[in-house]
Structure 1
Amino acid sequence: MKNKYRILKIAITVILLGFLLSFSLKKFGGQKITDNKISVKMNEKTPVYFIDEKDIRAIVNKENPSGKVGDLNIPALEKKINSLPAVDSANVYLNLNGKLNLDIKQRVPVFRLNKDGKDFYVDERGIEFPISRTYSHPCMLVTGSVKKDEYEKLAELVGKIDKDDFSKKYFIGISKDNNGDYNLLTSEGNYKVEIGDLDNIDLKVKGFKAFVEKYLVYQDPLKYNMISIKYQNQIVTTLNPYFKGNDSILKVGKLELAKVPPTTAGKNTEAKLKIAEVKKETKKPSSTSKKPKESTKPKAVTKPKAKETKKTEKKTTATKPKTKAKVKIE
């Protein structure tokens, strides 16, 4: 009998608790979510304003027209906010006092990419999202056909530039040319810094920094058209042809190029001087008058002809020749 009384007491207690709970839930569900009971927090380290509190409140009112707690579908509301392109993450929850909390983290652009005539932002994780009509975030501008698998490395490069005072002062943009090489656009002069691929960025920027501090600071920034640091352990510069100070250097370069004759296939047309073999003729002593056989003027002969001589000829090796050397131009 005692057991029956205990079971009956437990059953009555559960029924009472269920009744009270249902009554409380009904009362709680009938509460209105007023504007002062909606708390919106933006949790970005870098402040951005792609969406504001007003936009979030409008979404809440649209998803819950009645404004009652019982009619609010929290998972659906959270999914709706997360679907916004500029939102990185959203967390929606209710307090026991009926206060609706929305913790939102927006995407922070690392660079703005102009690709195929379209502009959009890219965050640190390499995710694209469209630009806003009401807000423009200050960030690095990148142009060219950048592949999606390069977004993260490019974002890492921009992050390093933003953290370094020297790089931030010099580099204001990045472009990718048709050869697939990346170039850093500078704030001084009209030159660009060619870095090639996105590997070994720290070493490349360090090399450019050394070049600037030891040499470029003493030069006119308009002197160069390009400074290449893509090669290992060397810096290659290209002069600006429109800078007056480069006229003398460019003229010397043109003269040096003019001295080099064009080459043709199968033949080397360089002028070479060859010293013909000097032969010494032995003569018998005679009392007759000495007359020169032929003039010693060089003749333009394509092929040397061998002459028959009745007298013996000896090649001179160590002794100096008495007769004049013949010069032949091929």
Structure 2
Amino acid sequence: MFRNLPWKSIRLAFILLAVIALNSFTRIRNSARKVTQISIHIDHPDQPLMTSETVNKLLIEKIGPLQSQLKDGLDLNTLEISVRNLKMVQQAQVALGLNGKLSINIKQRVPVGRVFLGTRSFYIDTEGINVPLSDFYTAHVPLITGKVGGISRQKLTEVLQYIQADSFLKKNIIGLKVLDQSVLEMYPRNQDFVIDFGRPIRIREKFKNYQAFFQKAVVDSSLGKYKRLNLRYTQQVVCIK
């Protein structure tokens, strides 16, 4: 009677059941494990708008202590959203290893300007987002005053990004003032003249004209003669003494 039994099929069935049972046991055992270690990595450690300690503290305030939480009870998606919602964070990725190590990788927002509005002050980043000042690092970016709310944030950010991307302008332009009708004035480092930039149009062309003028004026030692430089006109810089 036993000779006619499909032993191969029975053995395969037993093996399959054993694998399923082992996987279930492993999954249950793994879900019962706790978070054993938290690793928070923030890019640009030499320009820290925040630290891993401050991130951990903010997360504890929002969702409670992460250390020793059961892995099965930790919602990684919710945690990642909580990290991304921090005002100084541009992007974030969260992962949990089999060994219980929780890894949080953060890309900080990058300031391109600092706004002064009375008693208020904050950064503007590369996406035009307001970013709080940091207790750990002061970004060396142009100071922005005047009627900041009266200019397109996109256009203002475009001007600031151009300045930050150019090695000469990054060192030279230390301040911007927003006037009526989105007109910009700029203030160069260690110079007495004011740059009348006009509205934020033809940005590249205006800055190229300014750089060409500056280099020529350095050669003939004429920078100190001027009180105002007008960049509103095409292919020329109008100098006022």
Normalised by the length of structure 2, the TM-score is 0.80
**Identity percentage over the alignment?**
27
Report the more deviating stretch, 127-136 or 185-194. Answer: 127-136
Q: CA deviation at 1:201?
A: 2.1
Identify the residue that residue 43 of structure 1 maps to in structure 2: 43
- Aligned-residue offset at 1:13: 3.6
Structure 2 residues without counterparts, runs of 5 or longer? none
Q: What's the secondary structure of 2:182's corresponding residue? A: coil
Q: How does 1:156-167 map to 2 (within 5 A)?
A: 156-167=158-169
Q: Give deviations 1:211-261, integer Å, cap 9, x for gaps.
A: 33334653362x43321111123333333xxxxxxxxxxxxxxxxxxxxxx
Q: Does 1:129 align with 2:131?
A: yes
The structure, 1 or 2, with the larger RCO (C-alpha pairs under 8 Å, 6+ apart) is 2
Contact 1:109 1:121 in 2 (8 A): yes
Three-state SS of the structure 2 residue aligned to 1:48 is coil
Letter aligned with residue 86 of structure 1? M
Q: Does 1:74 align with 2:76?
A: yes
Aligned to 1:32: 34
Match of residue 25 from structure 2: 23
Structure 1 Cα separation of the partners of residues 207 and 162 of structure 2: 10
Q: Which amino acid aligns with 2:195?
A: V
Aligned length in residues: 234
Q: Using the alignment, how far apart are the partners of 1:109 and 1:165 within structure 2?
A: 16
1:170 counterpart residue number: 172
- Establish whether residue 113 from structure 1 lines up as the match of residue 112 from structure 2: no
Give the CA deviation at 1:193. 0.5
Partners of 2:90 and 2:170 in 1: how far apart? Answer: 27
Is 1:219 the counterpart of 2:218 in the alignment?
no
Q: Which has the larger radius of gyration?
A: 1
CA pair 166-41 structure 1, distance change in 2 beyond 3 A: closer
Contact in 2 for aligned 1:48/1:108 (Cα 8 Å): no
Distance (Å, rounded) in 1 between the aligned partners of 2:30 and 2:146 = 56
Taking structure 1 as reference, are residues 190 and 106 closer, same or farther at Cα in structure 2, changes over 3 Å only? same
Instruction: From the two aligned structures, give the one with the greater helix fraction.
Output: 2
Counterparts in 2 of 1:210-249, with a 5 A limit?
Answer: 210-215=212-217, 217-219=220-222, 221=224, 223-239=225-241
Question: Compared with structure 1, are the counterparts of its residues 5 and 172 closer, same or farther at alpha carbon in structure 2 (3 Å cutoff)?
Answer: same
Q: CA RMSD in A?
A: 3.0
- CA shift, 1:68, in A, is 2.6
1:191 corresponds in structure 2 to 193
1:106-160 alpha-carbon deviations (Å, 9 max, x no partner): 1111111234653222211222222234443222212222359733433333333
Separation in 2 of the partners of 1:67 and 1:108? 33
The 8 Å contact of residues 176 and 182 in structure 1, kept in 2 or not, is answered as yes
Q: Residue 48 of structure 1 contacts residue 106 of structure 1 at CA under 8 Å; is this kept in 2?
A: no
2:184 is aligned, of 182, 185, 197, to: 182
2:227 counterpart SS class: strand
Instruction: Give the Cα separation in 1 of the matches to 2:155 and 2:55.
Output: 33
Change (3 A) 1:213 1:43: closer
1:107/1:123 contact within 8 Å kept: yes
Give the counterpart letter for 1:85 in structure 2: K
Separation in structure 1 between the aligned mates of residue 199 and residue 93 of structure 2, nearest angstrom: 39
The alpha carbon displacement at 1:163 in A equals 3.8
C-alpha distance in 2 between matches for 1:168 and 1:50: 20
CA distance in 2, matches of 1:205, 1:181: 15
Name whichever of 80-89 and 182-191 sits farther off. Answer: 182-191
Q: Distance in 2 between matches of 1:165 and 1:22?
A: 59
**In the aligned structure 2, how far is the partner of 1:108 from the partner of 1:232?**
32
